[in-house]
Amino acid sequence: MRFAITGAAGMLGQDVVAAAKAAGHDVLVFPRAELDIVDSAAAAQALGAACPDVVVNCAAWTNVDGAEDDEPSALAVNGAGAGNVARATTAAGGWTVHVSSDYVFDGSKRDPYLESDPVAPLSAYGRTKLAGERAVAEAAPDRHTIVRSSWLFGAGGPCFPATILRLAGGRDELQVVDDQVGCPTFTGHLALALVDLATRESPALGIVHVAGGGTCSWYEFAREIVKRSGSSCEVKPCTTADMPRPASRPAYSVLRSERGDEAPVLPEWREGLGEYMASVSVGSAT
């Protein structure tokens, strides 16, 4: 199959490119420097010329707190930009796989969020990701898969483990919030799932939840990262109120799927962390 990957230079995009190539597909890469998805004419021209069977849209505004200060710019990428990709892909005869977020939920549940649960984003970032879901569904009503995932981390870009490793290397103590719970998702695992979804004989239409197995708080995640690194830094829990951020985060955003075999099941988050640690050559991968 012929794949086109938008946002191909990003953390997830790099892993999707690698996964698609490893599976033997023809892969065309579109990093932001070569295709700004905010430009609808450019998207139509580039993806039309590519004639892809599948476009995996990894292009996104990912600065959650930054979106609070500049929601219009975040919306241009995550909302209208996502629609531009889906529209151009549909015109070219391809299938759109679009990546969305757990931040479309408000975190008020205490059991896993399913695809049919009501959305109620708390932040500008969450609102822009929800706008993207709706734009994709409108632009490609019968030729799209929207994959909601959560707490992405990978070797190809800034992420929570990288931040924790950097801070732990220079401090004796770290405080990390323990009242936000989710599913850390290794981009290497998610990338394989996206390629799997895209290449099925009958791709899943609509929204599918795909996130790392198991659950943890940011504090538990950080503690495991530091433990595996061999650092002597002590990780202590704190509350969200103790560490206020510009954007509100859902207190609980565990994702699971109600779509049975249509939804890929990812390995447990600790396995993803082990692969991440090995890939960046820090500490033990066991």
Catalytic positions, written as ranges: 125
Residue 136 to residues 34, 56, 105, 160, 263, Cα–Cα distance (Å): 21, 12, 18, 28, 19
Query: Sign of the C-alpha dihedral, residues 238, 239, 241, 243?
Result: positive
Q: Which amino acid is at 265?
A: V
**Given the structure tokens 């790099």, which residue do they identify?**
14
Strand ranges of the sheet holding 26-30, from the earlier edge strand across to the other edge: 26-30, 2-6, 54-57, 95-101, 144-149, 206-209
What burial letters (b/e) apply to 79-105, b meaning 16+ CB within 10 Å?
bbbbbbbbbbbbebebbbbbbbbbbbb
Give the 3-state secondary structure of residue 198.
Answer: helix
Q: What is the DSSP string of 20-40?
A: HHHTT-EEEEE-TTT--TT-H
Residues 6+ apart with CB under 8 A from 142: 205
Q: What are phi and psi of 96, to 5 degrees?
A: -100, 125
Q: Which amino acid is at 237?
A: P
Give the 3-state secondary structure of residue 189.
Answer: helix
Contact 200, 167 (CB under 8 A): no
